[in-house]
Amino acid sequence: MKLRTAIFALLVLVIAFVAQSQTFVIPSIYMAYLCIEDLVAVPEIPIWHPVGCEIVDCCPGCPGPGEIDWSIKISGDPAERVVFEFERLPAEGLKKLSLKGNAKLVEGNRLEVGVGESLISGFPADTRQGPVLARGRIVLNKTWLSEAAGRSRSVAEDKAQPQSDNRNLGKIEVSIVQSLGKVAVREYQQLYFIIRCRGGGGGSQDFVRLSNMNGTDSATILLDGRRSTGCVDDEVRRASPNVGVGNVLTNQNCNTETAVFAQNNAMQLATPVNVWTSAATDTENVNMRPVIQVPVTVWILQGPLAQTQAQVNNDIARANQLYNTMQAGVGFSPVTINNATANPNAAGLLNGGCGNAAQFSQQIGFTNGQLNVYYISVVAGGNRGQWCGGGNPNMMFVGASISDNESLSHEVGHAFSLGHTNGIAGIPATNLMVTGGVNRNSITTGQCFRIDVNSNSQLNANGNRNGPTRNCPDATTSNTCPSLALDVLPK
Amino acid sequence: MKNLRITSMILMVFCACVAGCKGQPSSSETQSEKLSPEQAIAARQAIVAWLECEECTSGELEAVVKLGSTAVPSLAATLRSGPPPSSREIQREHLVQTYRGMEAYAKTHPRESGIKMSEEEYVRLYSENYVALYQIRAARALGSIGGEQSRNSLTDALNTSLREDVRTSVKETLQKMNSPR
């Protein structure tokens, strides 16, 4: 018995050790939503990927410089083939490639890869001009496209049929694993979801009517309520200003609410909603309001001043664009920029961070009740950025020497209650809250909801927003908290 | 009593294994040459996670230090050269697309403070930061791993053209390595 206990203890320890050893991998899954209406007009999807390793010597223990192989997999009914053209790869280099599976050279020095698995061997790892670039297009299957467009059209034109959640028509997956010998040196996976974007929602049904909309953006609506099948949670609808929602019934014991997200408008949360009846003629009016402006104070410690100031300007402009186009409903204004480069204490704090919070606030400056961003050189610990959380949720740092064009937006995301998304299923590599990576350009609707309603989001804590609040940690999904991964690419 | 002894032995073996895995690495590149493809992939992923993390709060540096001398050649190459050409291309493409997107956005949002530099300046600013990020992180990891090979890599890097803040970072790392603990 004791032996069994010992073995069990050992197993627990081994599992704990393995868990502790896991590294934080940067996701390599990319996603895009494409409208069938656009694809009918142009039945191709552009695709781009460089040839090369993820680190400069490819990997620890790699066999040294050599040729790179692509293992490429294309799947999904909508796809017929991918046609690549290569930059920095002369025609003779292209002819030297070894092709297996469904890959073949075609006229015009192009490489055509069909659906299924193929192996392309012999890419040069690098050229003097830079890496070989594969620029291509996914050619769609015309039969599939025609049938899908027909199906979509009939739904769109069917006045009796309410606008439906089921807008998905098909999916294409392209994965490329680049290898040096037997070792994978870069992975890439791109998912394309083909959806119906327009039409539908006519006839006899209930509506959400958006009044005072600023702009003409297609709003995203999350609807909780009751249908004939029972309670429904976070049904996604997109339209504006009148959004057909089918027949929503009287509440009974179901949670009822409507959350509305739109560019150039603040998020609106109506809860509970008591207008729904058994008739399919009800209307919920939602009064939209302008984007909530969040005041920000910036302290520049890192010189030269003009250069850092230009960087601050870029980063604020990027934050405004990103949060607005992703329908978070927030903007950043006024932005007060303070020159602290001449402050005698600045030099000693250029590599500081949250551990020096008191020094920053006392020796450099701090404005109560709003976001304070300090542009220093490299944040303590070699970090690009840092949000202080805990006792200083309005304080954050950007390491101006190593930050990227989304570092500020990322730190603001933390101040708005969001955590990192690495390793969260369904959230792509392009999400703003990925720690690492170089192409962060999206915020999920699940994240927008948290930005706006979480009581620990500084938007609410600082009193920038007035409205109902919640406590929705990233990992919580319930009838009052949408999944963090809900609607990963709102636009 | 016998069972207790077995329990102790099992725990001792486990502790020795943990200590072995976490301790200072043995010499070498020969060790790295013996990595299986799976181990090489895991090592590469650990290094990239450290080189690119925004706030490195999930043990990214510790994971690289755990690789020990296995990681030193890759880190030394990164210190010399920064990100690989293909990653620079991905970064450049993103910056160009972002810049153009922001320009288009500014036209429909004239009241917001728009971008005030050219596309070329914008791309250069963040591309140079990207190179510095890789080099500063590589230097830091080499300093944390320690050993003669790491020290030599850092010293050699000072003889190459580095951005001034990267050079300062390398010097500081060497100073820390040389100072008694």
d(CA A267, nearest CA chain B) in Å: 19
DSSP tag of A163:
P
Peptide bond into A65 cis (omega under 30): no
- For B115, the closest chain A residue by CA position comes to A314
β-pair partners for A208: A243, A284
φ, ψ for residue B127, nearest 5 deg: -70, -40
What is the model's pLDDT at position A204?
82
**A12, A327, A405: which to substitute to probe chain B, counting the most B Cβ within 10 Å?**
A405
> CA A456 → CA A361, A415, A434, A435, B136, distances in Å?
21, 8, 20, 21, 34
Residue whose token pair is 């490329």: A176
Asked if A347 reaches chain B (Cβ–Cβ under 8 Å), the answer is no
Both tokens of residue A441?
Answer: 């350009």
Both tokens of residue A147?
Answer: 């049938």
Pairing of strands A79-87, A133-140: antiparallel
CB–CB contact A384 B140 (8 Å): no
Both tokens of residue B163?
Answer: 């951005």
d(CA B70, nearest CA chain A) in Å: 6
- Which of B66, B85, B101 lies closest to A126 in CB terms? B85
What is the model's pLDDT at position A33?
87
d(CA A126, nearest CA chain B) in Å: 8
What is the model's pLDDT at position B30?
40
Helix (H) or strand (E) holding B83: none
What is the model's pLDDT at position B89?
95
Q: How many CB atoms lie within 10 A of CB A258?
A: 23
List all residues 6 or more positions away from A479 whose beta carbon is below 8 Å from its beta carbon.
A224, A231, A233, A255
SS3 A144: helix
In sequence order, what E strands does chain B have? none
Q: CA Rg, chain A, in Å? A: 26
All residues of chain B having their beta carbon less than 8 Å from the beta carbon of residue A61 are 32-35, 39-40, 43, 70
CB–CB contact B86 A50 (8 Å): yes
d(CA A96, nearest CA chain B) in Å: 21
Letter string b/e over residues A396-427, b meaning 16 or more CB atoms within 10 A of that residue's CB: bbbbbbbbbbbbbbbbbbbbbbbbbbbebeeb
What is the model's pLDDT at position B20?
36
β-pair partners for A283: A207
What is the model's pLDDT at position B21?
37
Asked if the model's pLDDT at residue B136 lies above 50, the reply is: yes
DSSP tag of A479:
S
**B1, B55, B78, B118: which to substitute to probe chain A, counting the most A Cβ within 10 Å?**
B55
d(CA B32, nearest CA chain A) in Å: 4
Tens digit of each residue's pLDDT (9 = 90 or more) over A436-450: 888 899 999 999 999
Asked if A438 reaches chain B (Cβ–Cβ under 8 Å), the answer is yes
Tens digit of each residue's pLDDT (9 = 90 or more) over B34-65: 789 999 999 999 999 999 999 999 999 999 99
Provide the H-helix boundaries in A118-234. Answer: 142-157
Scan residues 236-295 of A and list those with Cβ closer than 8 Å to B.
none
- Which of B40, B82, B83 lies closest to A183 in CB terms? B40
Residue whose token pair is 């000072």: B158
All residues of chain B having their beta carbon less than 8 Å from the beta carbon of residue A382 are 56, 61, 136-137, 140
Asked if A180 reaches chain B (Cβ–Cβ under 8 Å), the answer is no
Q: How many CB atoms lie within 10 A of CB B3?
A: 13
β-pair partners for A284: A208
Sign, CA dihedral A203-A205-A208-A209, equals positive
What is the model's pLDDT at position A11?
46
Whether the CB-CB separation of B135 and A348 falls below 8 Å is answered with no
Whether the CB-CB separation of A88 and A130 falls below 8 Å is answered with yes
Walk along chain A (491 residues) in steps of 10 and give the mean pLDDT of each run. 51 41 64 88 92 93 85 96 94 92 93 97 84 95 91 64 64 95 92 80 82 92 94 89 90 94 96 94 95 98 96 97 97 97 98 97 98 97 95 96 97 98 90 91 96 98 96 96 87 54
CB–CB contact B4 A377 (8 Å): no
CB–CB contact A436 B49 (8 Å): yes
Q: What is the mean pLDDT of chain B?
A: 85
Number of cross-chain residue pairs from A and B with Cβ atoms under 8 Å apart: 234
Asked if the model's pLDDT at residue B9 lies above 90, the reply is: no
The better pLDDT of the pair B4, A77 is held by A77
The length of chain A is 491
User: What is the C-alpha separation between B15 and B9, in angstroms, rounded?
Assistant: 10
Alpha carbon A10 to its chain centroid, in Å, reads: 40
Quick one: three-class SS letters along B10-77? HHHHHHHHHHHHHCCCCCCHHHHHCCCHHHHHHHHHHHHHHHHCCCCCCCHHHHHHHHHHHHHHHHHH
CB–CB contact A383 B48 (8 Å): no
d(CA A159, nearest CA chain B) in Å: 34
All residues of chain B having their beta carbon less than 8 Å from the beta carbon of residue A50 are 85-86, 89-90
What is the model's pLDDT at position A2?
52
Q: How many CB atoms lie within 10 A of CB A360?
A: 25
CB–CB contact A404 B85 (8 Å): no
All residues of chain B having their beta carbon less than 8 Å from the beta carbon of residue A133 are 89
CB–CB contact A26 B61 (8 Å): no
**A17, A53, A54: which to substitute to probe chain B, counting the most B Cβ within 10 Å?**
A54
Asked if the model's pLDDT at residue B16 lies above 70, the reply is: no
d(CA A243, nearest CA chain B) in Å: 25
User: What is the C-alpha separation between A466 and A452, in angstroms, rounded?
Assistant: 10
All residues of chain A having their beta carbon less than 8 Å from the beta carbon of residue B114 are 317
Peptide bond into A241 cis (omega under 30): yes
Whether the CB-CB separation of B133 and A402 falls below 8 Å is answered with yes
CB–CB contact B35 A313 (8 Å): no
Both tokens of residue A190?
Answer: 């791109």
Mean pLDDT across B161-180: 92
CB–CB contact B165 A51 (8 Å): no
Residue whose token pair is 């600023």: A214
SS3 B94: helix
CB–CB contact B48 A52 (8 Å): no
Whether the CB-CB separation of A211 and A287 falls below 8 Å is answered with yes
**A17, A20, A56: which to substitute to probe chain B, counting the most B Cβ within 10 Å?**
A56
What is the model's pLDDT at position A24?
61
